Chain A
Amino acid sequence: AQSVAQPEDQVNVAEGNPLTVKCTYSVSGNPYLFWYVQYPNRGLQFLLKYITGDNLVKGSYGFEAEFNKSQTSFHLKKPSALVSDSALYFCAVRDLTGFQKLVFGTGTRLLVSP
């Protein structure tokens, strides 16, 4: 079965520093990977996705993610964190049983301090 793991419940970073939120995956076949962000009391918003092609994917709000097939990872990165980036981040993978079905990780809370 498809799955993703987010090994960190929380990531703390100072404003202006680079940030990384980790995600590893386990899939059969080619992975379709996604990152979503959830701000407090809001629904999830799409950030970026990897389907095929370049291993470095650029997304919304200055975020990017690096797909690494050998390490089965899809880490979310940003060169310079903002306090407004503080939110809950979810990694997800397409489930093989349905084109649009997603399997989500447990989420990582990012806290950016001023």
Chain B
Amino acid sequence: NAGVTQTPKFQVLKTGQSMTLQCAQDMNHEYMSWYRQDPGMGLRLIHYSVGAGITDQGEVPNGYNVSRSTTEDFPLRLLSAAPSQTSVYFCASSYSSSTAGNEQFFGPGTRLTVL
């Protein structure tokens, strides 16, 4: 299994540009999520999905959209990039959406810089 994969690894955008961060998992996990990691702030949840066709907002959703058309894929779209969105983005997945206590598997991250 490849686990959780993310592309690209690095990206530089100009303010106002849009882009999509890709995330895929091959473990048939129900739950998928996107976090951003900023220095001194830990990881903060952006959006999450409990299954194909079902998404919801996390702690910091503004400026981001998601969709989940398949179990495997969970892309994150930046609609109009802003310097405040400069961060490292992690996608994660876990087996079940309906039972607590499952560990999450993380992708390697995408480092995004917005100029």
Contacts and interface: CB of A to CB of B under 8 A. Distances in A.
Interface of A: 9, 32, 34, 36, 41-46, 49, 51, 90, 94, 98-102, 104-107
B100 A99 contact: yes
B94 A100 contact: yes
Contacts of A9: 40
A21 to B, nearest CB: 14
Nearest to B103: A46
Given A34-B103, A46-B105, A101 B42 contact: no
A99 B98 CA distance: 6
Main secondary structure of the interface of A (DSSP, over half): loop
Contact of A43 (B44, B90, B94): B90
A43 B103 contact: no
Given A43-B90, A44-B104, A44-B106, 18 more contacts: A9-B40, A36-B106, A43-B92, A43-B106, A43-B107, A44-B92, A45-B106, A46-B105, A49-B103, A94-B100, A98-B56, A99-B97, A100-B31, A100-B102, A100-B104, A104-B35, A106-B40, A107-B42
B48 interface: yes
For the complex of A and B, 3 pairs with smallest distance between CB atoms: A43-B106, A46-B103, A104-B42
Interface in B44-67: 44-45, 48, 50, 56, 58
